Structure 1
């Protein structure tokens, strides 16, 4: 994760989900549109709750949590999700981190200053032992 692309990958991990066949066709268009938008772990949680509780008719009522916490990926995501800063569930330091990495990591501004790019915005990655 020391390279600029590695740091970007750490802040924007890839998510792949295999839906049951009965859902793939029904939600194909929505999933295709949502694939171009920013998502958060809260959205993944809402999607799992949505599928596990079987509330397929109205994705927005998939759980009792307020809509600002997360949105099911099987429903339309808010339009502001096209940019990092437009997604209020992503902390701002990760958005500035993305901008620094895309600009080559040479920015002296931000939390760390001194041309250190994005290092101060992130702690060390979790180790395997931290899950036990």
Structure 2
């Protein structure tokens, strides 16, 4: 049985180390064979928008754009519906494959059997 990993990232460039850690853990989850979903809330929403991804510029850290692409191509990325609405974003403005969903979907996913949820 494969476990699932749900990583919720709540910050962007204002908390660069925390944001980078969330993306790094998600990418490592994929490498370990887990089914990975990243939920983006607040300023982290911008990671899902082409040409708006924050540059975290952290020494000793992987480029966040590479981490986003790794997770997007091997897992799934979801943007909080309220956060998208506050930023006037629609799915067609997001990176391919990224979707928008609400709190009910988040709660359902983290309460499923075999899921490990982490918040950054």
TM-score when normalising by structure 2: 0.28
Larger Rg: 1
> Whose relative contact order is higher, 1 or 2, with alpha carbons under 8 Å and at least 6 apart?
2
TM-score when normalising by structure 1: 0.27
Q: Would you tell me which structure has more strand in proportion to its own residues? A: 2
